[in-house]
Homo-oligomer: A and B are copies of this chain.
Amino acid sequence: MGGVNTAERAPKQDRSRATRQRLLEAAVACLAERGWTGSTVTVVAERAGVSRGAAQHHFPTREDLFTAAVEYVAEERSTALRALFPQGAADDDRRAVVAALVDLYTGPLFRAALHLWVAASNEDQLRPQVTELEARVGRETHRIAVDLLGADETRPGARETVQGLLDMARGLGLANLLTDDRARRERVVTQWAALLDEAL
């Protein structure tokens, strides 16, 4: 591999990475807006301004594209969440951490993921990939929650306290699907952050 080839390859790899990223972001937006039925590789390629062939080069199947998209955006959001609290939660800051965790489940990413989960529950072709994806994203979110809340998982019940909190966060996301549930959600977050504070 000579110097010229490497120099030529680098921008090509950058372009390829940029294309991939545009496809992933378009796929999540599409899934959130149109649901699984309305989300195809063709629709996403068009939205991203990429040829269908190029899209299929990156993602051979529809299932590949949409599971990769939800994973990509989930990772972006996890990174952003960690960056919000670089030192973890101070003791008087648990409410802010709980609110930020709950925020993971409102907005387009959660809507997209929900469409994917629900479709996977009826489609055998989609199910294995989504089940794995859900497990991976769930484990990572749990790790972040434990770190940011400063939970000591060696204490009995601490693990389940955090798990229940994340289940509550998902339920709050569901409650926000059809109506703007913000006001109620904030009251619930305040109350459970206080209960959690005692428990942890």
Give A contacts to B, CB under 8 Å: 33-35, 37-38, 111, 114-115, 117-122, 127, 130-131, 134-135, 138, 157, 160-161, 163-175, 177-179, 184, 187-188, 190-192, 194-195, 198-199
Contact = CB atoms under 8 A, between A and B. Distances in A.
B117 A161 contact: no
Contacts of A187: 160, 163
A198 B119 CA distance: 39
Top 4 A-B residue pairs of the complex, sorted by shortest distance between their CB atoms? A167-B171, A170-B171, A171-B171, A160-B191
A164 B199 CA distance: 15
A166 B171 contact: yes
B174 A191 contact: no
Given A161-B191, A168-B164, A191-B164, A177 B121 contact: yes
17 contacts: A35-B118, A35-B121, A111-B121, A117-B177, A121-B177, A121-B178, A130-B178, A157-B194, A160-B187, A163-B187, A164-B191, A164-B195, A165-B168, A167-B171, A167-B174, A170-B174, A171-B172
